[in-house]
Structure 1
Amino acid sequence: MLKTLGAQIKEFKKDSIKTPLFMILEVLMEMLIPFLMASIIDDGVEKGDIRHICIIGGWMIVAALIGLYAGIMGGVCGANASAGFARNLRKAMYENIQQFSFSNIDRFSTAGLITRLTTDVTNVQNAYQMLLRMFVRAPISMVCAMIMSFYINAKLASIYLVAVIILGACLFFIISRVSGYFQEVFKKYDDLNASVQENIAGIRVVKAYVREDYEDKKFSKASYNVYKMFVKAEKILSYNAPLMQFAVYSCILGISWLGAKMIVTDQLTTGELMSLLTYCMNILMSLMMVSMVFVMVSMSVASAERITEVLEEKPELTNPERPVMEVEDGSIVFDHVNFSYKKGSGEYVLKDINLDIHAGETIGIIGGTGSAKSSLVNLISRLYDVTNGSIRVGGMDVRSYDMETLRNQVAVVLQKNVLFSGTILENLRWGNKEASKEECIRACQLACADEFIEKMPEGYETYIEQGGSNVSGGQKQRLCIARALLKKPKVLILDDSTSAVDTATDARIREAFAKEIPGTTKLIIAQRISSVQGADRIIVMNDGQVDGFGTHEELLANNQIYREVYESQTQGGGDFDEKGGA
């Protein structure tokens, strides 16, 4: 874990080294000042030596200025190092997440990843800054003050030693008890973020069903769990301050009482007593700082482990050593393909799939809910890898291609259509960032999206809200199809991407595809028979297997599931799941 996190310090190593050095210099100056103060009192004030007072006073000013400079620079360097470290952690996690395959992403919840990128990184950042500054400053300050105290008077300094041992034992007990609560509390943040994310993402459904009160209660429960854990931790931590004050005042009383007796018997000078009282505060406050550092570190350990999990997660899908950089054509072959989302489970989602699709063909895919239609097409663009068997696109196994090359040539319009905040043109250029406005307009014409875009006041410069919340479902689908067309792919997959489009527009889109991109292999997943009956061939999926593969006429004659669905939709207007669905 330390090695993984430490690798992200990178260009901030210099600041990470300079910070403790400046802290050491500041401590040395702080320890020197009480020693000089004792000399002023004993050799200057009591003897009436103004010259000595001025000289030593001058040295005290110099020491104070050096200490001030060291403290400021330590703070600046520490802030740069910790903030830079946090920035690198976020960047490294985000870049690694971008490389994740779908199977990697499935292991983490969205709320969990957000918590790791925000709260967990902030905890580690604060802990790192405290380690660079306080964890260096406090122990050195305590040791130096202890040495100076024993140098002045070993008998009185032994009071500090006893106080430090007792107080250290109490603080260790407090930290050991409180660290477990802090480790638990950050796990509760995932539940809190998940509640917020789910509510905001589904706010229309919440309002449609008037479930605001239910969502409030769910959030309150998650929030209360975080509150409860923090209260338990802070109750134990609250003993820290009174214990420290008790130790400080006990030491002051003990030193003042014994010190006064020693001054009377000439075993101690007034200046030395003043120095010892100053060192008393330094020692005990340093111990207080050390305790706070340990608390912060114990809080951040769980966060550090969660961050490390993301950084050490290796993408399951990688390029081969010598990837193929060109897809010859849009032919697709499934050769005894088995697929399972969970490796080693033995439960296949797709079972012994054998298909031979020619370049330029239009292939319809129908099947009931859960028949693995989407799983089938996700394997073509290598969003997942097959468990057994192989898939060949353009005559080559998909695992032999450079993934960027393959996915540029196998365009997928997923079942869940997603638009990003920005203009329509900016969203379209996700398909091809170099596309001209004319190319974007042409793609929209093929997807029948131009008809509603031109009616908008700002046309292609119309701003799309996050998630496409200001366009309808059908408009969103057509924009996503146009975006995919801009890639000029050899294979185009539409995963139920016209479900929100009326049948007339659906027919026009299919007609435009047939005329304008005849060389592109088109795979159309649909629930409506009318959307696929004009395809060259149709795949009927049932329980993860190919139940039928042929033309509309062949399937009507030979495939019971297809025939039942056709009859139910032509006679009663039903969809696939009304009859014959599996």
Structure 2
Amino acid sequence: MKGLSVLKLLIKDWKGSYKWLVFSLFLVMISVFGTLLIPYFSSFLINEGITAGNSDVMVKYGIYMLIMAVIVGFCEFLNIAIAVSFSERTCHGLRSGAFAHIQSFSFSALDKYNSSDLLVRLTTDIQNIKIGVQQTLINVFKSPLTLIVALFFLYLTAPEFMWVAAILIIIEILLLAVYLWYSTKAYDKKQIKYDRLNQVLKESMVGVRVVKAFVRQDLENKRFQNASEELREAALKPQYYYAFITPTLMMMVYMGTVGILYVGGTGLLQGTGLTLGGVTAAMTYLVMALIPIQTVGYMIPFVTSGISSLQRVYEIINEETDVVTDPNVKPVNIGKFKGGVHFKNVSFAYPVSDENQPTMALKNINLEIEPGEIVGILGATGSGKSTLVNLIPRFYDVTEGEIQIDGIDVRDMPLETLRYVASVCLQGSNFFSGTIRDNLVAGVDADAIIQAAQDFDVHLDPENMFSDNINSSYDAMVQAAKAADAHEFVKTMPQKYDTTIARGGADLSGGQRQRLSIARTLMMNPKILILDDSTSAVDVATEARIQDSIHDLMQGVTQIIVAQRISAVITADKIVLMDNGEIVAIGSHEELLESNKLYQDIYASQFGVDVPKQGVVG
């Protein structure tokens, strides 16, 4: 997205606040004219007061200058206050809009951006925008107006000096144009290197235990040093450009002063009609005409950095969300769902960049799951198990075919309704900083779930499920935690369910995180419960207890269990065996053990026993 395009978007977002910009322009006009009247009065003070020895004139014009100074100071204060307020409001809107849009991202969009990149865009980039907006609003009217009015007063006072001003202004504008061209590119490159450094830092910090376990400290140090060195080199270029332009523009001011003094002094000595007050005022006006151009040079680093950051933030805000609720979709009664799932000729490929051809992750999947049925999805890593179940709640949309729940295409259901009906316990057990209670009820809408509970005739008592402020009652929380085999270890904690846990659950074991994650999913009280390898970090005995408890608690609820271990799905009504994105077999444990070679090989490797190869298929 080009800089001009994002500026148009920003100005469009300011719609409704234009009155403050108009007021700011009014303040700037008073400030500029007041500032430029001061040297005008000073010329009279010198010529008619000091030179003529008239103290009354000196006092009169001194008072005029003092009044102008007070008015200018007050207007400058208001203008800066408006700019600061405007920039903060702008950044608040951009930050809130970007964050809200990120919440609506599909998994495809989330795959496109890493979390450290998003974090930088919502923090550092927003800060850059704030500074850029402040500097722009303070100077966007003031600098050009000051330049024009100063030249006008210079012409009125001493037109002999206009040629000096014209030469210096043309040189400064050409220098600024070159500086702007190179610095914009340099700041864009610097931001890319900054993102790279943040990514390396995040990976190293998040995986610090892996780094230590595999003695990768030296390697990670080298990666970070390389990224830091690249950022240093990229950051130096715009600084060098700035170091060049700042003294160069100031040199133009000094040259102008020398030029005025030389031409003016020569005129005074030759008696051309110039006055000392006129020469002094002309010198001031020339400096005031050149200073706005110098101010632009000072602003460029902030403005170019702000525009670059604005492009990155608007890239997030304008990111198309491919998984959305069709505006024509009618509301669906959650209580009418029974939990049947039907995959019809489903194929799926993960989105890739234009230069790459997509690889099909799922190929022509046909699968029917009856309401209340317990189905295991089994296969090796990369076989497409997680991809298959992620399509049910529309974390991704199918590339071909359709998925139905009770005969309704999932794309014809409101997303919120769909994800209350089909809840997923994801592989990664992510937790927020806060209490265990806070995490167990994360995302639960009390009114919606109570209604769902009443409609579904669920086993949790709807009258005791939730209290005010979307907090779960103790009884409901304990039932979910017991089903996930989490209640016992929670009881041993200092504050039990009100114990504060670290961000990401860093102070919990892998098995504890998984069990709490299962409990959190149970709190959603879905009609379709999807467990995506959710017991991989617990032992087989604990896994069996969790399954038995969930089966008892969620009777009549369709359960889809994704696993690599046969022990996790051995009691399922049917097991779907997947390989390379395809369903290769469907049947009970006994049927597959008797007839499918791949299943027999998995069983033999996991249980350490050989299976007779009679009647084997595939």
Normalised to the residue count of structure 1, the TM-score between the two structures is 0.95
Q: Give the Cα–Cα distance (whole angstroms) in 1 for the partners of residues 331 and 345 of structure 2.
A: 23
Moved more, 346-355 or 384-393: 346-355
Q: Give the Cα–Cα distance (whole angstroms) in 2 for the partners of residues 75 and 349 of structure 1.
A: 56
SS in 2 for 1:382: coil
* Shift in CA distance, 112/573, structure 1 to aligned 2, threshold 3 Å: farther
Q: Quick check: 1:5 aligned with 2:21?
A: no
Question: What residue in structure 2 maps to residue 530 of structure 1?
Answer: 567
SS in 1 for 2:493: coil
Amino acid at match of 1:388: E
SS in 1 for 2:59: helix
Amino acid at match of 2:283: L
Question: What residue in structure 2 maps to residue 247 of structure 1?
Answer: 252
Q: Quick check: 1:332 aligned with 2:341?
A: yes
**Selected match of 2:419 from 403, 407, 415:** 407
Question: What residue in structure 2 maps to residue 417 of structure 1?
Answer: 429
* Shift in CA distance, 251/516, structure 1 to aligned 2, threshold 3 Å: closer
Contact 2:158 2:279 in 1 (8 A): no
**Selected match of 1:369 from 361, 372, 381:** 381
CA offset at residue 179 of structure 1? Answer: 2.5
Question: What residue in structure 2 maps to residue 502 of structure 1?
Answer: 539
Question: What residue in structure 2 maps to residue 299 of structure 1?
Answer: 305
Question: What residue in structure 1 maps to residue 289 of structure 2?
Answer: 283
Amino acid at match of 2:333: E
Q: Quick check: 1:191 aligned with 2:203?
A: no
Question: Cα deviation per residue 1:352-396 (whole Å; 9 max; x = unaligned)?
Answer: 111111111111111011100000100111111111111111221
Question: What residue in structure 2 maps to residue 316 of structure 1?
Answer: 322
CA offset at residue 98 of structure 1? Answer: 0.7
Superposition pairs for residues 223-234 of structure 1, below 5 Å? 223-234=228-239
Q: Quick check: 1:462 aligned with 2:474?
A: no
CA offset at residue 259 of structure 1? Answer: 1.4
CA offset at residue 517 of structure 1? Answer: 1.3
Question: Cα deviation per residue 1:426-450 (whole Å; 9 max; x = unaligned)?
Answer: 0001153342121111110111100
Contact 1:431 1:485 in 2 (8 A): no
Q: Give the Cα–Cα distance (whole angstroms) in 1 for the partners of residues 369 and 223 of structure 2.
A: 49
Question: What residue in structure 1 maps to residue 31 of structure 2?
Answer: 26
Contact 1:138 1:287 in 2 (8 A): yes
Question: What residue in structure 1 maps to residue 391 of structure 2?
Answer: 379
**What is the count of residue pairs matched by the alignment?**
576
Question: Cα deviation per residue 1:209-231 (whole Å; 9 max; x = unaligned)?
Answer: 23222222211211211211222
CA offset at residue 103 of structure 1? Answer: 0.9
Normalised to the residue count of structure 2, the TM-score between the two structures is 0.89
Contact 1:317 1:385 in 2 (8 A): yes
SS in 1 for 2:394: coil
CA offset at residue 60 of structure 1? Answer: 1.5
Amino acid at match of 1:34: P
Q: Give the Cα–Cα distance (whole angstroms) in 2 for the partners of residues 179 and 514 of structure 1.
A: 61
Q: Give the Cα–Cα distance (whole angstroms) in 1 for the partners of residues 603 and 301 of structure 2.
A: 68
Moved more, 172-181 or 365-374: 172-181
Amino acid at match of 1:127: G
**Selected match of 2:524 from 467, 484, 487:** 487
Q: Give the Cα–Cα distance (whole angstroms) in 2 for the partners of residues 346 and 194 of structure 1.
A: 26
CA offset at residue 510 of structure 1? Answer: 1.1
* Shift in CA distance, 247/347, structure 1 to aligned 2, threshold 3 Å: closer
SS in 2 for 1:58: helix
Amino acid at match of 2:52: K
Moved more, 320-329 or 304-313: 320-329
Q: Give the Cα–Cα distance (whole angstroms) in 2 for the partners of residues 290 and 253 of structure 1.
A: 23
Q: Give the Cα–Cα distance (whole angstroms) in 2 for the partners of residues 165 and 34 of structure 1.
A: 24
SS in 1 for 2:472: coil
Moved more, 468-477 or 565-574: 565-574
Contact 2:133 2:306 in 1 (8 A): no
Question: What residue in structure 1 maps to residue 47 of structure 2?
Answer: 42
Question: What residue in structure 1 maps to residue 511 of structure 2?
Answer: 474
Contact 2:97 2:317 in 1 (8 A): yes
CA offset at residue 64 of structure 1? Answer: 0.8
SS in 2 for 1:353: strand
Contact 2:246 2:297 in 1 (8 A): no
* Shift in CA distance, 158/3, structure 1 to aligned 2, threshold 3 Å: closer
Question: Cα deviation per residue 1:218-261 (whole Å; 9 max; x = unaligned)?
Answer: 11211211211222222233222332233222222222222123
Q: Give the Cα–Cα distance (whole angstroms) in 1 for the partners of residues 610 and 64 of structure 2.
A: 96
Q: Give the Cα–Cα distance (whole angstroms) in 1 for the partners of residues 16 and 216 of structure 2.
A: 50
Q: Quick check: 1:271 aligned with 2:277?
A: yes
CA offset at residue 408 of structure 1? Answer: 1.1
Q: Give the Cα–Cα distance (whole angstroms) in 2 for the partners of residues 346 and 180 of structure 1.
A: 33
Cα RMSD over matched residues? Answer: 2.1
Moved more, 124-133 or 539-548: 124-133
Q: Gapped runs of 5+ residues in structure 2?
A: 1-5, 445-469
Q: Give the Cα–Cα distance (whole angstroms) in 2 for the partners of residues 37 and 185 of structure 1.
A: 47
Contact 2:144 2:292 in 1 (8 A): yes
* Shift in CA distance, 192/8, structure 1 to aligned 2, threshold 3 Å: farther
SS in 1 for 2:38: helix
SS in 1 for 2:561: strand
**Selected match of 1:209 from 190, 214, 218:** 214
Amino acid at match of 1:329: K
Amino acid at match of 1:473: G
CA offset at residue 479 of structure 1? Answer: 0.3
SS in 1 for 2:576: strand
Q: Quick check: 1:119 aligned with 2:128?
A: no
**Selected match of 2:161 from 156, 160, 164:** 156
Q: Percent identity?
A: 34
